[in-house]
Structure 1
Amino acid sequence: MTEERSPKKQEVIETEVSLGTVHPAALEPYRVRLFVEDEIVNDAEITIGVNHRGIERIMEGLPVEKANALTEKVCGICSNAHIWNSVLVAEKGLGIEVPERANYIRIIMEELERLHSHLLYLAHGSEVLGQETFSMRAFYLRETSMELLRMIGGNRVQYGASIIGGVRPRCELNDMRIQKIAEGMDFIEEGTLKFADRFVSDPMIMSRITGVGKISQKQAKKLEVTGPSLRATGLAQDLRTTMKEYEPFDFDVITQDDGDVKSNILLRVLEIPESIKIIRQAIKDIPNGSITNRSWEMFDCDHIKSYIEVPRGTLYHSYAIDDGRVRGSIIRTPSMSNIGAMQHACIGNHITDAQLCIVQCDPCFTCTDRAIEIINR
């Protein structure tokens, strides 16, 4: 009689793969811990803190207008959004009316910034996919929006356009500048359509991005995802539809349904024509009049809050004014919410797709990198 042998137990070992803080496919320093079993990601952890600069602490006690200017240093991609929202805080607290023409210029600046941000996203995403040609094409299109921002604001990265009560005199739009903007919109729209047509026609790219990094709408709500990453799950939520600054403009809120890398990429491609539509309306219907209201007085006020829609989602600024100086500044960027989605998107995917799952949410870790934790010992 032969002795029966029990089946040998298979031991499963989970391996941790740590990437960063400097990663060849990342624009900013951060650390990713991937917990992998048989090359499939079971869990992920993203840690920031390497690039902390303490901007909110530096703002404490600064005169309001100087503090507003400092907020541009939070992010080199959405610098206009930060100074605009910081200025909106003061304008709401002080009850300042902004000239209509100034508001139109602010909207043009913000939508040009959305164009350059989305095109940067497409360029960086193509680079992560290993598609250098598509990456360079997107950067080539982005250059037009960067040059238009330079023409209006005087710089390519930090424009200093918004001030309390309006925009700076150097940002005034004459006929020549309006014509340049119109020509730039034609160029970007035509180039984006060609880019999208070539991109979605490539079977290797589409097979690589379809179904990868999928996030359900239910999970996105639970993680409080914001911006395009939320709209890529099918939820039509765009703060611009509730902002009074955007009331004169007609545009569609773009959504995609699958919540994967493909949906995130296509959504941003389709949002580019909507931004162009807004800019064209603004330059066509821009009202006459002043671009700055300086007839206001500074006074003390409690914390004022302002929310606006920026390229990555909802941006929050808040501070109080005491003797003309900023107190208790708080800045919350979209990536602070979206980090949870980046981590969740990695789970269940192959380790080689982890970085692609992260960048699909268009992370901006440097502008998020301001929070500090105080530990009492």
Structure 2
Amino acid sequence: MNEDNKITDKKVIETEVTMGTVHSAAIEPYRVRLFVEDEIVRDAEITVGINHRGIERIMEGLPVEKANSLTEKICGICSNSHIWNSCLVAEKAIGIEVPERAQYIRVIMEELERLHSHMLYLAHGNEVLGHETFAMRLFYIRETVMELLRMIGGNRVQYGVSIIGGIRPRCELDEMRIQKIREGLDLIEEKITDFADRFVSDPMVMSRITGVGTLSQKQAIKLGATGPTLRSTGVAIDLRSEMESYDPFDFDIITQDDGDVKSNLLVRVLEIPEAIKIIRQALDNLPEGKITNRSWEMQDAPINKSYIEVPRGTLYHSYALEDGRVRNCVIRTPSIANIGAMQYAAVGHHITDAQLAIVQCDPCFTCTDRAIQIIKI
């Protein structure tokens, strides 16, 4: 034996374990290759592209409002985030001033979407843990959020709230809708508080997620992690603090320090009350006035960019305008960076913990499957 007490005269056989393209704990197709020695992961490779639909290429040349609607199809979980950010690009390019009331309603929709996204993540996380009771309880709580989204946008997915210059008239918040949102928030807050108490006091759950999939702060920054995945390592970066739409609202940036599965889960659990706080502030101070500014004329514009904070991290949209049509569209979702970080987080852990380490970043493989590469032959 050598000085590190490792056997040197034993031949180590590397074994590859493949998971996917369909995994029971994920609702989207992807492929994971784990290279293991004695059931310990020594390297990992995550492959996406199976659900590629070429949305950026399809958007090329479409009228801008039609292209914006198409961005909702990128992701069924954060569809509001995509269309909002895509509208922000056009508004910046043309110089459109969005009515203050519309900005407040956009924030309300985004925070409701954050609630449902985080609860979906927590529910699927508990499925991976094998805790069906916690998973079903979270899906039950999430139903209240989904009904609020349906009430405002007319649909549980792809609500079509944002348009260039504001929001659709059918998404206006009257007193009845405002009261329903308040009642729903009270119910959600009560039930999620009860769940959080039970979750963190469950010794089996805590022992299963503590120290698994650890990513240090230095590694997270180096690998470009974003959103809750980055904040779980102690980095207090939340782009909402820099967004003009969030200037009127007070909220805390939630961080944890360990960078493991437990920290990732707790960041999202603790962000739920903050999202509720923002929505309540928006309802209490909802300005009067118009919800749409249509007094603008289409014009050509060079490439403009927009960054916003979505449930998984920083979302980037950019495109140019030519004769009212979209050119050179580029969309970068947070999952592309976080998935790469999770390849690193899985290394060094037992093979049974690998899937848990990968899904801790709340990956959206469909969001990531957009770009195409044209190769000249």
| Residues matched between the structures, number | 371
- Alignment partner of 1:76 is 2:57: no
Residue matched to 1:187: 187
Residue matched to 1:60: 60
Q: Distance in 1 between matches of 2:60 and 2:244?
A: 29
Alpha-carbon shift at residue 30 of structure 1 (Å): 0.3
Residue matched to 1:50: 50
Residue matched to 1:237: 237
Alpha-carbon shift at residue 342 of structure 1 (Å): 1.1
Q: Distance in 2 between matches of 1:363 and 1:123?
A: 14
Q: Distance in 1 between matches of 2:71 and 2:236?
A: 29
Alpha-carbon shift at residue 339 of structure 1 (Å): 1.3
Alpha-carbon shift at residue 374 of structure 1 (Å): 2.9
TM-superposition CA deviations, 1:139-179 (whole Å, max 9, x none): 11111111101000010001000000000001100111001
Alpha-carbon shift at residue 371 of structure 1 (Å): 1.6
TM-superposition CA deviations, 1:242-295 (whole Å, max 9, x none): 000000000000000000000000110000000000000001100000000000
Q: Distance in 2 between matches of 1:259 and 1:220?
A: 9
Residue matched to 1:246: 246
Residue matched to 2:123: 123
- Alignment partner of 1:303 is 2:293: no
Residue matched to 1:258: 258
Residue matched to 2:289: 289
Q: Secondary structure at the match of 1:308?
A: strand
Q: Distance in 2 between matches of 1:221 and 1:105?
A: 33
TM-superposition CA deviations, 1:196-225 (whole Å, max 9, x none): 111111111100000000000000000010
Q: Distance in 2 between matches of 1:156 and 1:375?
A: 39
Q: Distance in 2 between matches of 1:376 and 1:13?
A: 40
Residue matched to 1:278: 278
Opposite residue 21 of structure 2, the aligned amino acid is T
Residue matched to 1:41: 41
Q: Distance in 2 between matches of 1:19 and 1:359?
A: 13
Residue matched to 1:320: 320
Opposite residue 369 of structure 2, the aligned amino acid is D
Residue matched to 2:225: 225
RMSD: 0.9
Residue matched to 2:208: 208
Alpha-carbon shift at residue 8 of structure 1 (Å): 8.9
Q: Distance in 1 between matches of 2:255 and 2:351?
A: 28
Q: Distance in 1 between matches of 2:56 and 2:17?
A: 34
- Alignment partner of 1:166 is 2:203: no
Opposite residue 222 of structure 1, the aligned amino acid is K
Matches within 5 A, 1:362-377: 362-377=362-377
Q: Secondary structure at the match of 1:307?
A: strand
Opposite residue 344 of structure 1, the aligned amino acid is Y
Residue matched to 1:4: none
Matches within 5 A, 1:11-30: 11-30=11-30
Opposite residue 165 of structure 1, the aligned amino acid is G
User: Tell me, which stretches of 5 or more residues in structure 2 are unaligned?
Assistant: 1-6
TM-superposition CA deviations, 1:76-99 (whole Å, max 9, x none): 000000000000000000000000
Q: Distance in 2 between matches of 1:372 and 1:90?
A: 23
Alpha-carbon shift at residue 366 of structure 1 (Å): 0.3
Residue matched to 2:3: none
Which piece of structure 1 moves more, 196-205 or 235-244?
196-205
- Alignment partner of 1:93 is 2:93: yes
Opposite residue 196 of structure 2, the aligned amino acid is A
Opposite residue 91 of structure 1, the aligned amino acid is E
Q: Secondary structure at the match of 1:67?
A: helix
Opposite residue 188 of structure 1, the aligned amino acid is I
Q: Secondary structure at the match of 2:306?
A: strand
Scaled by the length of structure 2, the TM-score of the pair is 0.97
Deviating beyond 4 angstroms after TM superposition, the runs of 4 or more aligned structure 1 residues are none
Alpha-carbon shift at residue 306 of structure 1 (Å): 0.2
Q: Distance in 2 between matches of 1:269 and 1:170?
A: 32
Identity among equivalent pairs (%): 78
Residue matched to 2:176: 176
Q: Secondary structure at the match of 1:270?
A: helix
Q: Secondary structure at the match of 1:109?
A: helix
Which piece of structure 1 moves more, 124-133 or 9-18?
9-18
